[in-house]
Amino acid sequence: MSMFSKGVPASNDDSAKPVIGSPTDCQSSILSIIESEIIPRLLKAERIDPLRLSLVPNGRAMPSAEELDAFVKSCLSLDPMAAQAFVAQLMDEGLNTEHVFMELISPAARYLGEQWESDRMDFTQVTHALVRLHAIAHEIGFEYKDGPLIQGEIKRVMIASAPGSKHILGPTIVAEFFRKEGWQVVVEVSPSAKELAHAVTNEWFDAVGISVSVEQQVQGLESLIQLIKAASRNPRLAIMLGGPIFTLHSFEAGQFGAGGICTDAREAAAMAWSLLPKD
């Protein structure tokens, strides 16, 4: 069994892979991550200063319900640039970054959560749109700033897919194993290496787990790990790897600068503990 799936062909679609536990358990794990991790972190990405936020933008009304609906559809679109183009158009018309975040991105994230809870959208749709929202939030300059900046008593781990994957089903399952072992877990949906590195700059993490799904992601893995280590607030950050690709090919963690490769989700937390500094 892989860290993020059970012996199946490598694919960029984690949603198609068997997972550990019953379908109900799996849905509960995914829902808990979406509700307690992804949407709140997106919505709290920046503490808006009311003095900076004018209630009425110059020459442009706030986004209407119809525009919000169109924006969500653009986030769900297969066109990777549709949502960014939508936001760029609104900003050209007079909305500033605070308006976009508070009146477009935040309500869109809430709407996606409601659609998931009511079973009107499936996991793949919601996470696909959340990745788009996350990317736009970064592009317009908003960052999550609520995480601890120094080491604490509770161990913290960031679990993320390598850039190029738009699905987080595997990492959500691994996150549940870490939670059961007492770890504080952050599931990161950043779509680029730069954003993953920025995440470990903004918060303290004791360990990082990276899911690798396809061979194209292996090619940039060493540079990704070097970037994360260089950016980390923790100079002794433990990095471990997992994912379908490691059930298909024999790799050594040292090839990429990582501390270990986990091929069983149930052992992920134990491996992370073993990689932490002993002093």
Interval 189-239: pLDDT, tens: 766 888 889 889 989 999 999 999 888 889 899 999 999 999 999 999 999
Residue with tokens 């770890």: 183
Entry field: residues in the chain: 279
**135 token code pair:** 């990317």
Alpha-carbon torsion 78, 74, 211, 170, what sign? negative
Read out DSSP for 256-275? TT-SEE---GGGHHHHHHHH
For the ranges 19-28, 121-130, 152-161, the lowest mean pLDDT is seen at 19-28
Its CATH class, for the domain covering 45-139, is mainly alpha
Residue 34: the pLDDT is: 57
**Taking the mean position of all CA atoms in its chain, how far away is CA 206?**
17
Look at phi and psi of residue 222 and say left if phi exceeds 0, alpha if psi is from -120 to 50, else beta: alpha
Q: What is the mean pLDDT of residues 230-257?
A: 93
Q: Which CATH class is domain 14-21+148-275?
A: alpha beta
pLDDT in tens, 67-109: 999 999 999 998 888 999 999 999 888 888 878 888 888 888 8
Averaged over 14-38, what is the pLDDT? 48
Of 143 and 63, more confident: 63
What are the angstrom distances between the C-alpha of 85 and each of 77, 98, 150?
A: 12, 17, 38
State residue 125's pLDDT score. Answer: 84
**Residues 6 or more apart from 150 whose CB is under 8 A from it?**
204, 233
Residue 60 scores a pLDDT above 50: yes
- Asked if residue 28 has pLDDT above 60, the reply is no
Name the residue with tokens 């995914």.
30
Domain borders along the chain are 14-21+148-275, 45-139
Nearest alpha carbon to residue 131 among 62, 123, 205: 123
